[in-house]
Amino acid sequence: MSTHTVNATQAHSESMFDAVLARLDVAAKLMNLSDEVLQVLKNPSKQVKVSLPIMMDNGKIQVFEGYRTVHSTHLGPSKGGIRYAMDVNADEVMALAAWMSFKCAVANLPYGGAKGGIKCDPRTMSVGELERLSRAYAVSMKDVFGVNRDIPAPDMGTSGREMAWILDEFNKINGEDSPGVITGKPIAIGGSLGRDAATGRGVMVNALAALKKMGLLPTEVTAVVQGFGNVGSHAARLLSEKGIKIVGIGDHTASFYNEKGIDIKEALEYAAKNNRVLKGFTGATEIKHEDLLISKCDVLVPAALQNVITEENAGKIQAKLIVEGANGPTTPEADPILNDKKIICVPDILANSGGVTVSYFEWVQNKAGYYWTEEEVNTRHDLKMEIAFEAVWHNASSFKTGMRIAAYITALQKIEQGVKLKGAY
């Protein structure tokens, strides 16, 4: 498989949206995407920024910034998570919204893309403060969200708890229950079985599909997983259940390595009892955070933050396969380095699309008012992921490019039809 590289000068890793544009340009050129469609996709269709004054527990008002960007609606209503993190800003939300458009198209879901976020540090806030903030955000976005308009979901720093508050506020405003306006909800109020583990499950299905193409058996490879939150912990568990030896794990509190393999069940039990963090885990040797990604392994799963594989460390990565559980973990400057090293990289817009795929199933179940078994959800998920993987693999070989650009091409082939068929004013 030969590779096409992104010109490093085209993208500055400080701007995540530039990182999207850099890849978009390469894919567009390779597939001969019309300039008109490219222009449409380079400009998100709606950007909303709000100020959220919240009464904090200390009796003082603090004002938070909230965002929602709808990137596209050509293939259906826009879909994408809401993150609570300190680095949330307009540029980041715009990049994440565009990635959602491409992710939904790659997974063949009838959705456009969106993303939202609030600049805050949820770890330092009380449950009451987070509830008031989530409800205020829902009120401010009441005209943006809608079952057939824009459907949010969890992302970094949020979970079913926040989705329940946002749903409740939306329902109060509208005077009716519309569970399909948000996904990733707790099961009791219309969530889907399998949604919680879905992103990690998608990482596992993509990793197995790639290993098969590489002629490697799961039982003969090792993996390192960075991140032990919703995505990383499920990915590590599911990969180890498939016989892959997990030799490295880490979260924001500590990183660990054990060449003999880490007992993931033990790590999960430890984190469950330890405020959901790994610090203090004794089933492996603690290593420096920066050594985790470059430690010896066959499969590397960055499932924590963006921009962690950079031009500084890409050359030192030892894995043969990278499966991106996080959104945007690799900078455009690192892409050519990985390509030169012949490392296969299953990109975020394919590798982590399991989450939004089961969000789609949740929305379908909410619309039908009929709920599936976990087995039905998982079987349909795995099939959709395998089809998406094959489509991207096929485009990688027919366009003679790496999987990242092939995934963009796969998405653009679908979105282009939507843009052209729906037309313009």
Q: Which residues bind ligand GLU (CB under 6 A)?
A: 79-81, 103, 153, 155, 183-184, 327, 352, 355-356, 359
* Rounded least distance, CB 75 to ligand GLU, Å: 14
* Rounded least distance, CB 294 to ligand GLU, Å: 26
* Rounded least distance, CB 225 to ligand GLU, Å: 17
Q: Which of 284, 377 has the CB closer to ligand GLU?
A: 377
* Rounded least distance, CB 347 to ligand GLU, Å: 13
Task: Round to whole Å and give the CA distance between 202 and 406.
Answer: 18
Q: Which of 154, 402 has the CB closer to ligand GLU?
A: 154
Q: Which of 81, 418 has the CB closer to ligand GLU?
A: 81
Q: Which of 79, 132 has the CB closer to ligand GLU?
A: 79
Task: Round to whole Å and give the CA distance between 180 and 190.
Answer: 8
* Rounded least distance, CB 35 to ligand GLU, Å: 29
Is 119 among the catalytic positions?
Answer: no
Q: Which of 257, 408 has the CB closer to ligand GLU?
A: 408
Q: Which residue is nearest to ligand GLU (CB)?
A: 81
Catalytic positions, written as ranges: 115
